[in-house]
Amino acid sequence: MLFTEEECKKIIEHSNTLKKKRQTPSADRFVSYEHCDLLLTDDTKWIYDRLNSYLETVTKMTVIKDVEKVMINRYVVGDGFEKHQDLYFKGQIFNVAVHLNNEYDGGDFVFYEPDYTMPKNVGESFVFENTRWHEIKKVTSGERWSMIAFYTLDNVKSKNKLM
């Protein structure tokens, strides 16, 4: 696990002090959850460092610049995020996501092509390309907490020289 259960609780507690924004469904897309931005500060630097190190280990790339922000997401009963790709930032290439709790039902994080459902292990992290289709199934009980960082070409460089 990238983060311990205690660290995940600490991240959730800290996020409860931050201003949250609510994403709501539209006529053409089901997306419903609450999120806040975890900005880089002296108090949060350890989170950024851990995410950066993990990305470097998994991708064999070097992080040359911290991401602008890390998002903390909270899904309550009825919330979810339909099948989508994360196409939010110019040059976006990788996402690093973390399960912060497992005291909920539903809320499965499902990847497509190939199909895979992430286990609900507290502190477990995973890297995926931003163009990979995925969704968060509707939460049926409890609250689902997660964290995600979006890396762009400005944040990373290859460790290997191209010929």
CB 71 within 8 A of CB 35: yes
Give the per-residue pLDDT at 161: 61
Note the pTM of the prediction, 2 decimals.
0.94
Q: Over 70: is that where the pLDDT of 44 sits?
A: yes
pLDDT tens-digit profile of 48-79?
999 999 999 999 999 999 999 999 999 999 99
- Chain centre to alpha carbon of residue 122: 13
CB 28 within 8 A of CB 83: no
- Where do the domains of the chain lie, and which CATH numbers do they carry? 5-154 (2.60.120.620)
pLDDT tens-digit profile of 115-146?
999 999 999 999 999 999 999 999 999 999 99
Give the per-residue pLDDT at 163: 52
pLDDT tens-digit profile of 100-111?
999 999 999 999
Sign of CA dihedral 8, 105, 72, 117: positive
Amino acid found at 128 = F
